Structure 1
């Protein structure tokens, strides 16, 4: 096994593990462009030669790029939900910055507990921090997977096992490796259009891919996707809005508040993947992307009678009226008791008449927004990356026959925030209605040196020994908003809100650049002790400039009992470093506290005020995990079952919001915090709770000839259970409930696909178990939701070798999400309505299959 054949056919692949550029083993395309066999070779999970899924000592899912394209949605997040049962993502109708970049969950852990690779290289994280992440993702800052289009992918590899000892921080839940296409010829162009059964959410996607030769020894594979998606609404009229409208306020919108998916405009992404054979067993590679999109979603409706610091400061008893020339400095503004419709009251009309001296001197926000208002929050997201490297075999010297991979990567994600249809009420009638809020920028630079060699140690085959070094720099930058978005206007001392209401802009004092560096070294060995017994070990040391160092290990083994059956297992430690953004970000946004809207401030954990409530410098999360399972393969039947157990200590969370009292305001003022009384609650990030997550993954596939065609059956099932084993009042009981029950413990899918010469089709059933449904992030607006089953289907017709038409639907039978209660309640609550109905939602927003219902689509593809 130490022959030149071994070196060129096996060790060449070994180095490409870190790169992800292993050559394909898929069958050649047939003359008809039909369903292609997925390459069953994975590069994640081992630093030896890439292995088939059956030969891997850790569980790996492989999803082909063509399979991902057979979805109604063109969003990579939704496509993966239908393919990986332990993968979850919420629609996030009202969730601040998470509207721009939706957080995801693998195995019930937060989005930044899963490491994302592109061609085997670490993918930079997004700049967005999920301030309202539904409990599980509160404060999470993971990569933006949605920018990766399925048309650019050869396959996606999902390693369902802890791998921090191999890849570093974030790989607690697992690793997802997106492998780009590397063909040097051919390509495709497609147009897809669809909309929801309700008649909204129309989405049109244009996508293309082309492979070109780069000299006779290389390739340049380019892909693009351009998409626009309309917003959706699954709303009923807000209870209070209906009451005020019934009293005669004609300015109330028919849907005062919209619960639905945001509007996405000009979602453009371009990916490139280049490789060139340099000769002498060496190769140059380069890949990267440019992506940009505009997103706009709704916020909470502002009640024109009682919204604090805008319309009233005593719960709606009297109107908040500003004296424009100053209190006790001329004309005195009247006290106005609020009735059923304040607009019809003579005392209000006297100040609304700006032709009189009283009207010119007195101001109420009702003059600007007589029917209340609903801010629209959104922004622009730009994501770019570039990786350049060289791999090959060293010839001669002490490193003779060692394969190397030297690479450098840079990734940048910038989110520029904006809010429209709102007000800076402290500015009075001079306030703009639209504001630029500032921006977050995440910049990451990485350099890697990876070495690998097969070493003869007297076994039947060489032992693979790998080692390497990594240097990383992570920078988080906050850019200030326009001055009116954070300005304290002349009415600030009269109880009016400062800054753009709903999301004040970032102040210059908040702006800044925050950086952290780390260096890492690893060693990885893997060998067959016998022909049937594979063992592996990895050790990784990493040192961070912020909190210090960490050492992690992993042990893996697989034993083949016979040609069909093998057993496997792993044990490992891991860690997730707190992000620079989590350690330094500050923000003010509108949130619910005890069912009422209030402005809540998030402060850095090391700020003087956070320290008063127990805040301190963040430390890394630590994990211990083990897994074991079995693989059975006999002919066209393939079956795996794996149990996993993950303990994570010192998990980072956004603390429960603490309502401020008079003593707290006095402390803030003593710390020279500007205008502290403009916020009602504060929170910060903290290492506060521990969890134990366990579960079982089952995957089964079977192929056969049926109905004079090729038939494939696929089953995937996941049971996942998370227990919070320790926490303090910082986390709070409501968040614990969401962490443990916010996602279904049981998820499964069963797919039947059928193909003939001219037609292919598939039907998939998706099972979602019971879960704790939450609305408006409020504990009283929550209940246990029933299990549900949805079905997806698609039919494709191959007109000829070049053209294919397809039609399909997701949630084809229009299974509805768990509905909110609408009956009147005896609970002690405003207007006697249940809390969930108070905010105008129709369905619980945390539905694991979304709340929009069925979606149908048609698609035309040209292959060349």
Structure 2
């Protein structure tokens, strides 16, 4: 539901506000702010007077002169609870950066734009070390310059916002202020590749009594490559990306208390990821995966994706008999269309060779793709009663949401086996076989929800909030969730706060119906695999029941301290229990499940995997933030520390009856570690910013805790252990004139990389895996910002 109010009961603006000191300065001039987590309208409260932790990050500084050019990577180096590591060698996951909170999956974090639910992407992550088996939201579809601030609610909030808000909520507030500004930026890795060009502009135009903010952005990021000569033919690094983005955001008073607001966004992205290389003459890849006539020295297929993302919010705020009302309609769509180039269909080439030809196949294919659409209607009502229980805010509302997911097939050459099943050349385009007619699906569902929320200041030192939400989905049934939170002020400086809530996450349509046959490289050996959708012949034979919702229980307890305007401190403990968590199973084959062998053989694959409600998990963690602001010499020094430590454990495996004896396959050691340690178990940021006159310098130390991931061969091969690593970012800004600013700096300036591993056992078959801060090393940047 919407989240456009501020109150000290359902909001905690943690002192990590100081992670962007510009926001701390701006906040003092704000009479009212719109913050996720509450529906009460009051003057802005102190960040340490509130119930549950919310970090607010101003994007002004990051957009004007930051070292990261997109939102996901910006938050990666600001928020310790947030994790988004670029993947490489992970097919579609290379094209769209996924993001998550508190060590949970990307689909267990709800993303809002201006308080309204943002649509998820059509992609479900199948490969890579992060968010395996999960869908998510593409934060990089929104230009940094279009954003005023990002609010990260670090608490379970399904009772307030519905499905997905198990780990927390990210709310992206867009600009709608008058004035114009533009940014030009350039960056590259110290290795000389990954060149990144950025041109973006924002202009807020007065229209009557309202303002329409318009942001346009163009970004061109080049491919990086960390492959060694002995890895040939391989390309291992960042995906090549070209983005063209336009965003509009405005609010227009009509009459009295009536206001019309609108947000619209569109992004077209052309991305290209390098698949695993195929060998040339004298390798085992001929004729299975290559043709001597086409690529005698071997080749690297390119998985190209055209991504079209669209978003629209239209709403009307008013007041009726003293009650604030908000009626809105939100629409979003995400479409990913694959085109595979520098490739071949080895079965077509082999058939041509057997017929007396040279052994030729087309070298590029339309491989099909998928699309997700979501439409949400909200009606929200709230009112503050100053005399009721010391001051009470009552809110209620309803929501209707419809969703649609479809997969469309590629051209026949992208998937056919032209020379016969299990004979000669492998079927489909190398690197990424196209979606087949059997994969095609077009599914819909809808949901209805009602909610109520009551917060009351029972005394000057005690505040409580209670929320209840009931929701019904057309495909799996109903869910009712609740939340109770409170704060108690021990002294004017010290505050205790806590919350308890239940939550749920509906299985995504992508998890329910995604279907694909692909080739995975395991220890350098190609293995054909089918990911089978729920209700398919494979899942029916394995006794996999229909997917149902995940259910959660969350608890948090914390304290805050504020000494004047110079020092803030918060610490919060939390526990999140999730039952019937949806995960991607381990790989079943003829060896570990002989009954499936005939079915797998008929499909021309060796292994299969599927989604199933198979595990219960428990996540425990600690969030700590501290900020200190003081004069130093003739300038101002801002210091901040932020820390997240989390531990996720699988507490039970819920195997369907037919799979009771295969629990070690259903949840293999490798799959368990994806769930428990897909992200670093600790993350901390220590930052220093010193400003004097026109100059500002900053140093930021980012620590990533250890991770342990499984190996393909498994025991007795030891797991892959990634040692804790620490990187440093440096930046310098010069305000040349009131309108013009130059910024330069470096990220990971000491060129730190993850722990080396055995390439035969990693997900990307390389000695550096895409974990922690990635494998690319140091980078440098320069930006110019002009305000006019």
TM score, norm. by length of structure 2:
0.90
Structure 1 counterpart of 2:219, from 201, 212, 227: 227
Conserved 8 A contact 1:35-1:760: no
Q: Which residue of 2 aligns with 1:705?
A: 631
Equivalent position SS for 2:305: strand
Instruction: Describe the superposition over 1:229-259 as per-residue Cα deviations: whole angstroms up to 9, x where unpaired.
Output: 11111112346xxxxxxxxxxxxxxx31121
Separation in 1, partners of 2:428, 2:183: 45
Higher deviation after alignment, 192-201 or 730-739: 730-739
CA spacing shift, 1:43–1:777, aligned 2, 3 Å? farther
Q: Which residue of 1 aligns with 2:80?
A: 85
Q: Which residue of 1 aligns with 2:410?
A: 481
Q: Which residue of 2 aligns with 1:212?
A: 205
CA spacing shift, 1:237–1:758, aligned 2, 3 Å? same
CA spacing shift, 1:773–1:549, aligned 2, 3 Å? closer
Q: Which residue of 1 aligns with 2:254?
A: 278
Separation in 2, partners of 1:514, 1:418: 24
Q: Which residue of 2 aligns with 1:554?
A: 483
Q: Does 1:139 align with 2:66?
A: no
Separation in 1, partners of 2:67, 2:514: 36
CA spacing shift, 1:514–1:306, aligned 2, 3 Å? farther
Separation in 2, partners of 1:43, 1:813: 37
The structure that has the greater radius of gyration is 1
Q: Does 1:651 align with 2:575?
A: no
Equivalent position SS for 1:192: strand
Q: Does 1:409 align with 2:345?
A: no
Conserved 8 A contact 2:184-2:198: yes
Conserved 8 A contact 1:799-1:805: yes
Q: Does 1:736 align with 2:668?
A: no
Separation in 2, partners of 1:634, 1:520: 42
Q: Which residue of 1 aligns with 2:286?
A: 311
Structure 1 counterpart of 2:650, from 724, 732, 749: 724
Conserved 8 A contact 2:522-2:760: no
Structure 1 counterpart of 2:561, from 616, 625, 632: 632
Structure 1 counterpart of 2:760, from 835, 841, 850: 835
Report the Cα offset of residue 756 of structure 1.
Answer: 2.2
Conserved 8 A contact 1:439-1:481: yes
Conserved 8 A contact 1:411-1:443: yes
Conserved 8 A contact 2:576-2:619: yes
Q: Does 1:816 align with 2:741?
A: no
TM score, norm. by length of structure 1:
0.83
Q: Does 1:676 align with 2:607?
A: no
Q: Does 1:538 align with 2:481?
A: no
Conserved 8 A contact 2:621-2:647: yes
Structure 2 counterpart of 1:611, from 540, 547, 554: 540
Structure 1 counterpart of 2:693, from 757, 765, 777: 757
Conserved 8 A contact 2:742-2:783: yes
Separation in 1, partners of 2:595, 2:651: 33
Equivalent position SS for 1:650: strand
Q: Which residue of 1 aligns with 2:400?
A: 471
Q: Which residue of 2 aligns with 1:687?
A: 613
Q: Does 1:75 align with 2:66?
A: no
Separation in 2, partners of 1:474, 1:742: 29
Separation in 2, partners of 1:300, 1:583: 28
Report the Cα offset of residue 72 of structure 1.
Answer: 1.7
Equivalent position SS for 2:140: helix
Structure 2 gaps of 5+ residues are 14-20, 350-358, 654-662
Report the Cα offset of residue 458 of structure 1.
Answer: 4.0
1:743-822 → structure 2 map (5 Å cutoff): 743-772=679-708, 780=717, 782-820=719-757
CA spacing shift, 1:307–1:419, aligned 2, 3 Å? farther
Separation in 1, partners of 2:165, 2:215: 28
Structure 2 counterpart of 1:575, from 504, 512, 515: 504
Q: Does 1:165 align with 2:146?
A: no
Equivalent position SS for 1:77: helix
Separation in 2, partners of 1:837, 1:721: 22
CA spacing shift, 1:818–1:646, aligned 2, 3 Å? same
Structure 2 counterpart of 1:860, from 778, 784, 788: 784
Instruction: Describe the superposition over 1:95-125 as per-residue Cα deviations: whole angstroms up to 9, x where unpaired.
Output: 1111111222210000010000000000000
Report the Cα offset of residue 687 of structure 1.
Answer: 0.7
Q: Which residue of 1 aligns with 2:599?
A: 667
CA spacing shift, 1:139–1:840, aligned 2, 3 Å? closer
Report the Cα offset of residue 425 of structure 1.
Answer: 1.8
Q: Which residue of 2 aligns with 1:243?
A: none
Conserved 8 A contact 2:753-2:777: yes
Report the Cα offset of residue 511 of structure 1.
Answer: 1.6
Report the Cα offset of residue 612 of structure 1.
Answer: 1.7
Q: Which residue of 1 aligns with 2:364?
A: 434
Structure 1 gaps of 5+ residues are 1-12, 25-32, 240-254, 314-319, 321-363, 395-399, 670-674, 822-833
Separation in 1, partners of 2:109, 2:369: 25
Q: Does 1:199 align with 2:124?
A: no
Number of aligned positions between the proteins: 746
Separation in 1, partners of 2:203, 2:624: 36
Q: Does 1:236 align with 2:231?
A: no
Q: Which residue of 2 aligns with 1:4?
A: none
Instruction: Describe the superposition over 1:801-835 as per-residue Cα deviations: whole angstroms up to 9, x where unpaired.
Output: 111111111112222332235xxxxxxxxxxxx72
Report the Cα offset of residue 378 of structure 1.
Answer: 2.1
Q: Does 1:507 align with 2:431?
A: no
Report the Cα offset of residue 581 of structure 1.
Answer: 1.3
Separation in 2, partners of 1:650, 1:83: 32
Q: Does 1:149 align with 2:73?
A: no
Separation in 2, partners of 1:645, 1:837: 31
Equivalent position SS for 2:226: coil
Conserved 8 A contact 1:257-1:839: no
Equivalent position SS for 2:254: strand
Separation in 1, partners of 2:275, 2:727: 29
Structure 2 counterpart of 1:128, from 123, 127, 143: 123
Separation in 2, partners of 1:379, 1:781: 36
Q: Which residue of 1 aligns with 2:41?
A: 49
Conserved 8 A contact 1:817-1:853: no
Separation in 2, partners of 1:791, 1:758: 24
Separation in 2, partners of 1:838, 1:133: 6
Conserved 8 A contact 2:573-2:621: yes
Q: Which residue of 2 aligns with 1:585?
A: 514
Structure 2 counterpart of 1:94, from 80, 89, 94: 89
CA spacing shift, 1:601–1:306, aligned 2, 3 Å? farther
Separation in 1, partners of 2:142, 2:549: 28
Report the Cα offset of residue 774 of structure 1.
Answer: 6.5
Separation in 2, partners of 1:120, 1:390: 14
Report the Cα offset of residue 530 of structure 1.
Answer: 0.4
Separation in 1, partners of 2:764, 2:95: 22
Instruction: Describe the superposition over 1:774-805 as per-residue Cα deviations: whole angstroms up to 9, x where unpaired.
Output: 68898858521221211111111111111111
Instruction: Describe the superposition over 1:362-390 as per-residue Cα deviations: whole angstroms up to 9, x where unpaired.
Output: xx823332233321112111111100000
Q: Which residue of 2 aligns with 1:425?
A: 346
Q: Does 1:64 align with 2:39?
A: no
Separation in 2, partners of 1:744, 1:121: 30
Instruction: Describe the superposition over 1:35-85 as per-residue Cα deviations: whole angstroms up to 9, x where unpaired.
Output: 873548552112223653223210010000124334322121110011100
Separation in 1, partners of 2:718, 2:414: 31
CA spacing shift, 1:777–1:264, aligned 2, 3 Å? farther
CA spacing shift, 1:111–1:34, aligned 2, 3 Å? closer
Separation in 1, partners of 2:136, 2:305: 18
Conserved 8 A contact 2:4-2:114: no
CA spacing shift, 1:663–1:613, aligned 2, 3 Å? closer
Conserved 8 A contact 2:713-2:761: no
